[in-house]
Amino acid sequence: MLLLDGTPDPEHTAHALLAALAAEHLAAVLPELGEARTRAGILRLARAAQELYTGD
């Protein structure tokens, strides 16, 4: 976060940077893993995050 302290909104800048990196990573692994496997992994991650957040 220290690198982003000079930006007007460091939190937004960090999220924007991470989103771009995630999109690039997804584009890079998609051909190797395939759409079904990639989608299943993302859904597992989203469900796990939801369980942590909601306690379900």
Q: Each residue of 1-56: pLDDT tens digit?
A: 567 788 899 999 999 999 999 999 999 999 999 999 999 999 999 999 999 999 87
- Ordered by start, the domain boundaries in the chain are 9-54
pLDDT at 5: 81
Single pTM value for the model: 0.66
Phi-psi group of 21: left, alpha or beta (phi > 0 → left; psi -120 to 50 → alpha; rest → beta): alpha
Contact predicate 38/30, CB 8 Å: yes
Per the listing, tokens 């995630």 go with: 22
Per the listing, tokens 């299943």 go with: 40
